[in-house]
Structure 1
Amino acid sequence: MMFKGRVGGISDDGLGMLKVGGRKFYVPFAYPGDVVQVWKAKRRFGRRIALDFEVIDESPLRHGARCPHFGTCGGCLWQGLKYKEQLRLKAKIFERITGVKAEIKSSPKIWGFRNVSNFIVITSGIGLKGYGNPLGVVNLRECPVFSKRTQGYLRALRGFLKETGLRPWNPREKSGEIHYLQIREGKFTGEVMVTLIAHVKPSNEILKAFNDHFSQADSIYWSLKVDGRDDPRGEAGLIAGKPYIRERVKDVTYFLHPNSFFQTNSYALPLLLKAVEGSTDGERVLDLYSGVGTFGVWLAKRGFKVEGVELNPFAVGMANRNAELNGVDSIFRVGKAEETPIRDYDTVIVDPPRKGLKEAAELLVKSGVEKVIYVSCNPKAFKLDYERHLKGVYHIDGAILIDMFPHTPHVEAVVELVKKE
């Protein structure tokens, strides 16, 4: 197969789209206006994806990518796109999916903004997954969206592996000892947490070697992984330093742990928190899917009476620690969102997982609460929840988009839902 065409649009997941002979093709790392020469395409999930291609005439929307790994690494699909165009297309895609026109706020920083990165350690290299290659990895030298210190972190890891002889994970054979290196940085505190995700219990000598190679970190963990799944999850055990690092967002400080979920863009997070705060009415607030208290503690600091509900007991413990750390009167408890009684709250905040609310949407409808603030990074899940469950009772009173994920097609939405008269 060989053909040439001009990219005419962008898909919901950020791929360039072109039509040739009545057939539609999707091209990664390509943007509207690009002319591409395609040599090979493969059918995946009902779509024809270009695998081997070249941009032979560049779109005026393009600019030079900063990262040397752009075009192979799966992390930054849109790094070759001018930032203003990224914002415009994100708002356009959100409106196309949901029917909601929304203002979009740019990230204050578009380089070095990520506060966490999970580097895969496998036999073919150490770095991040390549686009369209689930078993491969881009052997990283640097990562400009994460940290200027990336090179140092990876150098320390390679030195540790060489000294100890521990083997990288083999994804085909499901064998090996070391699977991931997770680095968390407090962008506003300067604190660093290093976690090695491994399939082996370490000896004292190995622990000492790991500590020596990452001696500048404030917190060092060894996380034992007991399954073969390709994710950075394990039983985290502290081996040196502090059990938590801190991140400070304006006047609120959060504890972070290897198993904590926290928004990845520390610089744009205040915009997200202020958007939620600006939509919150009344005094009593229920924070469903409250996690480590990111929204709840922020709102409590501003005088709202907050109760949070979260399924994960560890996250609930962290949320209560964060409340105590900031001296606020809020309560977080373990529970299922869909089983939470909604009494006389003035506002309910929901920040569900990517799959959306599902059963919890019916709970909101029956509750009669006047205001719901729906926070989501998945506009398709929001649309399903709204169209299937919430639309009959609530109308959309406004939406704000926050660019938490520069150089990707993703965006965070804060949608304000008000009970119909």
Structure 2
Amino acid sequence: MTDDDLILRVAARGDGVTADGRYIAYAAPGDRLDPAGGLIHGPHHQEPPCRHFLQCGGCQLQHIDDDSLSIFVADRVSHALATQHITAKQIMPVHLSPVGTRRRVAVRSAWAGKQFHLGFSTEKSHRIVNVGECDVMAPDLFKLLEPLRKFLSIRVDKQRQVQIKMAIVDQGVDMLIENWTAEDLHNHEALSEFASEHKLARLSLDEGYGPTGFYEPEPVTVTLGNVSVAYPPYGFLQATADGEQALVAAVQSIVGDSNKIADLFAGLGTFALSLGKDRKIYAAEADLEPITGLKQAAARVQRQLFTEHRDLFRRPLSAEELNKFHSVILDPPRAGAKEQVAQLAASAVSKIAYVSCNPASFARDARRLIDGGYELNRIWPVGQFRWSSHVEMVSEFIRVAG
């Protein structure tokens, strides 16, 4: 007999699901609905570590233990594939990023009466939670929030919302302040003093026309594959260093000893630079600044790496171009790579390493590749956005003979 009141799993947006299909907020697998209308906690329910949980929109899953969190990450992938009637041959162990390792974050400001708040939006609203603790953010980023509150509260008017974007780079913390104008010399000097006092790697402002540097003692870089690459203000990085390592290790496992490799949507070269110097690698990216940085870094260390500034949505590599490569690495944005995947499905490429941050668009693209003659062999689920419903994965597609 089915126990209809038992929570069996956690759905994609973080709600617990009962055996009879009801969705219950903040329920963990093994919890049970109380006949009186409450929730009886089971063995996988834990006390949320952060006092802002239930208000802050950054985390949806602090109430479940790590075993359940790993299952949730894997299920997000397998359930998305099931919508396209796809089953992977093997789902590898889930990688979860540890507490306090998020190295790239964006926070927003807002006035609440006479109080200046700085933090994350509440879920499904624009109200800002004034973050006083954060178990996700790297300590080097979190410790800047209170000084930022003091600095901005006397300079930002009550009608304006400012966004602060921070990332940990080789030289320290890179900070970009958006939607605030430093109108006079006094504010310019204050910005430089703030950056110096807190030993920022760089402080930039975006007043609506793109980032402008105010403080940068030395050129800002990030190290990828043991190669330092010029880093644009709040450029894309994987959310955690350990998450990046997990993704890179999976990609390396897929491409194996392939000598001719294409890295599509290459960004700054997270994967291209991790493959060493004894291979021929082509890297394509639509954003000019990162692909320029990758080109310069590769030239400096004498890598056999050809870069191209190319919009792969409007001008994907054709099947004929792809056939020059033994393996292809694909790391598109959340929308997936519909146009490029269509060409891959028509190609003869032996192996594809598809890195995705959206299970839904990935499943759509996976169906196209399978219909084109590929087999989905392995998937590595990665949960670098701890306690959120956001998951990533690396998948291995192999061209089926005949």
How far residue 292 of structure 1 moved from its aligned partner, in angstroms, is 1.2
SS at match of 1:185: strand
Mapped to 2, the partners of 1:257 and 1:221 lie a distance apart of 11
Aligned match of 2:185:
204
Matched residue type, 1:410 = H
Q: Does 1:111 align with 2:99?
A: yes
Mapped to 2, the partners of 1:126 and 1:103 lie a distance apart of 39
Q: Root-mean-square deviation (CA), in Å?
A: 2.7
Mapped to 2, the partners of 1:132 and 1:149 lie a distance apart of 28
Contact 1:191 1:246 in 2 (8 A): no
Query: Which residues of 2 match residues 10-409 of structure 1 at below 5 A?
Result: 10-18=10-18, 24-27=22-25, 29-35=26-32, 56-98=39-81, 99-100=87-88, 101-107=90-96, 109-124=97-112, 125-133=117-125, 135-163=126-154, 165-167=155-157, 170=159, 176=160, 178-186=161-169, 189=170, 191-215=172-196, 216-226=198-208, 235-242=210-217, 244-248=219-223, 251-281=226-256, 282-299=258-275, 301-324=276-299, 326-337=301-312, 338-340=315-317, 341-409=321-389
Q: TM-score with structure 1 length normalisation?
A: 0.82
SS at match of 2:181: coil
How far residue 344 of structure 1 moved from its aligned partner, in angstroms, is 1.0
Contact 1:297 1:322 in 2 (8 A): no
SS at match of 1:262: coil
* Worse-superposed segment, 397-406 or 258-267: 397-406
SS at match of 2:263: strand
How far residue 264 of structure 1 moved from its aligned partner, in angstroms, is 0.9
Larger relative contact order (CA 8 Å, sep ≥ 6): 2
Distance 1:251 1:388, change over 3 A: closer
Contact 1:288 1:310 in 2 (8 A): yes
Mapped to 2, the partners of 1:78 and 1:239 lie a distance apart of 38
Aligned match of 2:84:
none
Mapped to 2, the partners of 1:36 and 1:153 lie a distance apart of 42
Mapped to 2, the partners of 1:273 and 1:329 lie a distance apart of 19
How far residue 334 of structure 1 moved from its aligned partner, in angstroms, is 0.8
How far residue 225 of structure 1 moved from its aligned partner, in angstroms, is 4.2
* Worse-superposed segment, 149-158 or 391-400: 149-158
SS at match of 1:367: coil
Deviations 1:36-80 (A, max 9, x none): 6899xxxxxxxxxxxxxx964222112222222122211121122
List runs of 5+ in structure 1 lacking aligned partners.
Answer: 40-53, 171-175, 227-233
Mapped to 2, the partners of 1:145 and 1:190 lie a distance apart of 21
Q: Percent identity?
A: 21
SS at match of 2:127: strand
Mapped to 1, the partners of 2:141 and 2:35 lie a distance apart of 34
Mapped to 2, the partners of 1:97 and 1:130 lie a distance apart of 26
SS at match of 2:205: strand
Matched residue type, 1:114 = R
Contact 2:61 2:388 in 1 (8 A): yes
SS at match of 2:162: strand
Relative to total residues, which structure has the larger strand share, 1 or 2? 1
Deviations 1:148-170 (A, max 9, x none): 2455312211221244x3225x4
